[in-house]
Amino acid sequence: MAQLFFKYGAMNSGKSIEILKVAHNYEEQNKPVLIFTSAIDNRDEVGYISSRIGLRRQAIPIMENTDIYGIVSRHDPKPYCVLVDECQFLNKDNILQLVRIVDELDIPVMGFGLKNDFQNELFEGSRFMLIYADKIEEMKTICWFCERKATMNLRLKDGKPVYTGEQIVIGGNDTYFPVCRKCHTNPPL
């Protein structure tokens, strides 16, 4: 029986490398997968998943009105698994399509993404993944400044913490640090 999985973690917790690893493991056994990513994430290039350790792979970009269910249902051969990176940037309709893929097509879907933004508010996609996922798993990493577990993302601008502004600003280590709650409130910068 297929299930919807949501694997979330702070920045630098290995989400993108994990999705690439899962795809490799399926494909090594001649089990095709479909890989999607949000079209909002353009750090490398739209339609690519890139890990910080240098692995990169093309993926189907998801826009607000992408028919994910249609793409998967028409794909030949039928995928053994659907993998989705940057789930936090998806909308409710996108997430409900992932639910339909699991429930109607009996194909497991594994979604990866951030849970909360730099203000510690849920992203829309993360909110609905948390509501609908059959299994939820936290991917852990350590705080940029101390030895605690990172559960938040600290946004920086010109080397200074930012606590207000647009929810989505695409960036990497130059823009965000994974931090614990204590260091988010009072970063030792």
By DSSP bridging, strand 56-58 and strand 152-157 are: unpaired
Largest CA distance in the chain: 52
Give the Å distances, CA to CA, from 48 to 39, 44, 55: 9, 7, 10
Tokens of 44: 């490398």
Q: Which residues of 93-120 are buried (b: 16+ CB within 10 A; e: fewer)?
A: ebbebbbebbeebebbbbbbbbbbbbee
Catalytic residue of the set 86, 104, 124, 138: 86
> Is 86 annotated in the active site?
yes
Residue 87: partners with Cβ closer than 8 Å, 6 or more residues away: 6, 8, 38, 95, 111, 112, 113, 125, 126, 129
**Which amino acid is present at 179?**
V
Give the Å distances, CA to CA, from 85 to 30, 37, 59, 180: 22, 5, 9, 23
Catalytic machinery residues: 86
